Structure 1
Amino acid sequence: NLNNLDRASIHELCQVKGIGLAKATQIKAALEVGKRMVSTRSGNSKKMTTSRAFVDYFAPFLKNLRKEVVKVALLNNKLHIIKDIVISEGSVDTSIVHPREVMIPAIKESATKIVLIHNHPSGDPSPSQADIEITHRVSKAGEIIGIKLLDHIIIGGTEFYSFADEGMI
């Protein structure tokens, strides 16, 4: 299925009979184009008012990764995404995030609100203690400079955890 193709590395695709390096690269490129098309359709033209809207926008990029990737969605006052940026790429079960790395692009892009979003390759979206701590640190940093952290969303497989939905922000 497409999720397995997306999860497979180019090397793994080359192990399939009849698929060489060129074909494996084409497959990965086609999957990336598909992800971008999905995000373009659901992205900037629509107001992002729910955690589900963010999950629908970011899940195609995050759900099948083998390592943790943390992104920040930079929003304007109308809750439209100005830009989204990769803040950190970690290992299978951890990613280091510093509030400064979140706030610098938000300031540069004149964002008034942000949403942190990352994946848990294990498939379990439950927040770790480190996830809880960075959420509080980013929220406090944002309060000081006038950029509101609206949510921190963790995608694990087909499930997600929203700090805002759970009353943690």
Structure 2
Amino acid sequence: MSIRDWHENDRPREKLLRFGAGSLSDAELLAIFLRVGIKGQSAVALAENLLTHFQTLPALLNASEAEFCQAKGLGQAKYVQLQAVLEMSKRHFESGLQSGETLSDPHSVARYLEYHIGHSQRERFGILLLNQQHQMIRYVTLFEGTLNQATVHPREILKLALDENAAAVILAHNHPSGDPTPSQADIKLTEAIGEALRLVDIRCLDHLIIGDKGRWHSMAQQRQMPS
């Protein structure tokens, strides 16, 4: 059966217009991006097969060009289109954070960070540099790989913060496992960085850990930041 034969409330485009994008499943959202299916498969069926192939939507979004283009129903044109969509999303959230508003809402910061590190299959550690009014100067990804005090060097964070004349910072990293709960190593690392920054009167406001499916953890909200 063609998608055109479905009830209008079940068609992805009509469903989005009537109920909003949040009402759509991963497969339905991907089907709208794909626009058309392939011989013998509707766009939704193709999307479901692609999600099975890549296992998760974030894995598909973060796939390399080679991995993406080799999947049935995709190709370089779709890869380019996807990269443009992702970059527009990043710039949208970045413009909001750089509009001069004080960064006091962990939810907005977490959504922004999802586009930078949330889809990575490897751990990435970054830092939001803030001025005296806690407005964003810029975001920098500093380290990648298995993160601990041996690989994330507080002195490099300190140097960057001083070079940018930052008055405060927000630390961030992702958990590719999807569970944003901080480990003891995360807590110890936060303490070491916070201690180094305090020596030069730079505040460490929060450490956000980004998981999957919109999950994130604010150590400040959970009162886990070192005093």
* TM-score between the two structures when normalised by the length of structure 2: 0.67
Partner of 2:218: 162
Rounded to whole Å, the distance in 2 between the matches of 1:43 and 1:28 is 23
**Relative to structure 1, is the Cα distance of residues 18 and 126 closer, same or farther in structure 2, using a 3 angstrom cutoff?**
closer
Partner of 1:39: 93
Rounded to whole Å, the distance in 1 between the matches of 2:85 and 2:158 is 31
1:127 Cα offset (Å): 0.8
Partner of 2:119: 64
Which whole-Å deviations, capped at 9, do the CAs of 1:111-162 have from their partners, x for residues lacking one?
0000001110110001112111110001111111111100001011121111
1:28 Cα offset (Å): 4.5
Partner of 1:26: 80
Partner of 2:186: 131
1:101 aligned partner, one-letter code: E
Verify the 8 A CA contact 1:153 1:160 in the aligned structure 2: yes
Q: Let me know the Cα RMSD of the aligned residues.
A: 1.9
Verify the 8 A CA contact 1:154 1:162 in the aligned structure 2: yes
Residues paired across the two proteins, number: 166
1:31 aligned partner, one-letter code: V
Verify the 8 A CA contact 1:116 1:152 in the aligned structure 2: yes
Q: Which has the higher helix share?
A: 2
Q: What SS class does the counterpart of residue 152 from structure 1 fall into?
A: strand
* TM-score between the two structures when normalised by the length of structure 1: 0.88
Verify the 8 A CA contact 1:10 1:28 in the aligned structure 2: no
Partner of 2:176: 121
Which whole-Å deviations, capped at 9, do the CAs of 1:28-80 have from their partners, x for residues lacking one?
43133223232233211122112212102211222111011111000001111
Unmatched 5+ stretches in structure 2? 1-29, 34-56
Match of 2:155 among 100, 104, 107: 100
Amino-acid identity (%): 32
Higher RCO (CA-CA < 8 Å; seq separation 6+): 1
Partner of 1:76: 131
Rounded to whole Å, the distance in 1 between the matches of 2:142 and 2:128 is 10
Unmatched 5+ stretches in structure 1? none
Rounded to whole Å, the distance in 1 between the matches of 2:203 and 2:197 is 5
Verify the 8 A CA contact 1:6 1:31 in the aligned structure 2: no
Q: Which structure would you say has the larger Rg?
A: 2
1:80 aligned partner, one-letter code: Q
Moved segments of 4+, more than 4 Å:
none
Partner of 1:109: 164
Verify the 8 A CA contact 1:70 1:86 in the aligned structure 2: yes
Verify the 8 A CA contact 1:112 1:147 in the aligned structure 2: yes
